[in-house]
Amino acid sequence: MNEYQSSLGHTQGINDEDCPICFQNVNFEINSNRIIKDISVKIDRKGITGIIGPSGSGKSTLLRLMNRLISATSGKISLDSEWYDTIPVRELRKRIGLVQQRPYLFPETVRDNLTYGPSIWGINLTEKDLFELLDKVALPHEFLDRKIENLSGGEQQRVSVARSLSNNPDILLLDEPTSALDIVSEEILEDTLRKLSQEEIKIIIVTHSLEQTKRLTDQLLFLKGGEFIEKTSTKEFFQKYNEEEIRGFFKKEKGE
């Protein structure tokens, strides 16, 4: 922003920098305990971004801030150059989907889960829309009228992704989405995420698996003790540190 613009106040509520999500000096505290410490980082527009760091380093908290399930104690976050506090929460959650570690679904049918989000916005998904959503997550069309309780964990997690996609988001956040899945379900979900990324949906994934980080991500944000340590390409990260150092980064924080 130049002085002229700032004197006019025209750019108030706009972050000039081009990034899907930008953090500017973000802190998050609970009971005077600082969990996120002065994080400033720009998420890249292209590719799959991984968030890694030892258990307890603040990865899930960072995702919750991005989805505004919690709000920063201080500092600012922007979505496509708009500051978070200028975007209605419901709209923000429509534009940024969140898939948690465990499938989070109503105990009804797949159809009920997929039609709910759009119905809030007055949109009725057609049968074709629903089939397309199932195709995206590699589930057969006949699953539409199955009850959630009759699906496997991997299938339920794919429905969770499809449910997020039903809102047509720009960004999909995933918090260790495959940690409770078998290896085949994990592969299917990773394939889905790669395809979505090619369809211009920005994927940001918290992972505690070194192998998944290697297979799936293009860039990494590395956290430790609530602090942002670095952002690198995945390739550079694996060149820069040796195997033993990297295994250390994925372990628990000391004193836990």
Binding residues vs Mg ion (CB under 5 A):
60
Dmax over CA atoms of the chain, in Å, equals 61
Instruction: Name which of ligand ADP, Mg ion, none residue 169 binds, using a CB cut-off of 5 to 8 Å depending on partner kind.
Output: none
47 vs 225, beta carbon nearer ligand ADP: 225
Distance CA 31, CA 39 (A): 19
**CB distance 201 to 171 below 8 Å:** yes
Spell out the SS3 assignment of 175-240: ECCCCCCCHHHHHHHHHHHHHHHHCCCEEEEECCCHHHHHHHCCEEEEEECCEEEEEEEHHHHHHH
What's the min distance (Å) between Cβ of 208 and ligand ADP? 8
Binding residues (CB under 6 A) for ligand ADP: these are: 30, 35, 53, 55-61
Instruction: Name which of Mg ion, ligand ADP, none residue 202 binds, using a CB cut-off of 5 to 8 Å depending on partner kind.
Output: none
136 vs 231, beta carbon nearer ligand ADP: 231
What's the min distance (Å) between Cβ of 35 and ligand ADP? 4
Residue 167: how many other CB atoms lie within 10 Å: 17
What's the min distance (Å) between Cβ of 185 and ligand ADP? 21
98 vs 134, beta carbon nearer Mg ion: 98
Instruction: Name which of Mg ion, ligand ADP, none residue 61 binds, using a CB cut-off of 5 to 8 Å depending on partner kind.
Output: ligand ADP
Distance CA 1, CA 9 (A): 10
